[in-house]
Homo-oligomer: A and B are copies of this chain.
């Protein structure tokens, strides 16, 4: 398939696909006229690349990882494994942090709801300035 179709099927812009190739993350065969051609396999590969990007890996890191996927050969196992383990850790930490943030957000929402309801209970209150209470303490880790 040509680049446009790959782009459509992966929801990644044509621009980005060319960029991936520039960064050595993706390869293509070329037609006589110089146009890029891809096989089905590239669809998954692009999705995988996107996933790694979403995980916060830089294209340089990705390009260090992919050779191991491409051409498993003795040389790159150890280095790649270490690299992957390292990124796995980073990723886990990041996930934990996001989970904590989500919890904080939940706390914030709960507090907001509670405040809204207490305000609703005290009907006919003075408008516009709330109750003057200090900010809800939802910021702790």
Which residues of chain A have a CB within 8 Å of any CB of chain B?
Answer: 44-45, 47-48, 51-52, 54-55, 65, 68-75, 77-78, 80-81, 84-85, 87-88, 91-92, 94-95, 97-102, 104-106, 108-109, 111-113, 115-116, 119, 127-131, 133, 135-136, 138-141
Contacts and interface: CB of A to CB of B under 8 A. Distances in A.
Contacts of A55: 97-98, 101-102, 105
A91 B95 contact: no
B54 A98 contact: yes
A43 B64 CA distance: 38
Contact of A95 (B98, B116, B127, B136): B98
A47 B81 contact: no
Nearest to A102: B91
B136 A72 contact: yes
A101 B91 contact: yes
A135 B76 CA distance: 13
A78 B115 CA distance: 11
15 contacts: A47-B141, A48-B139, A51-B100, A54-B98, A55-B97, A55-B105, A69-B108, A72-B111, A74-B130, A77-B115, A81-B112, A84-B108, A91-B101, A91-B102, A94-B98
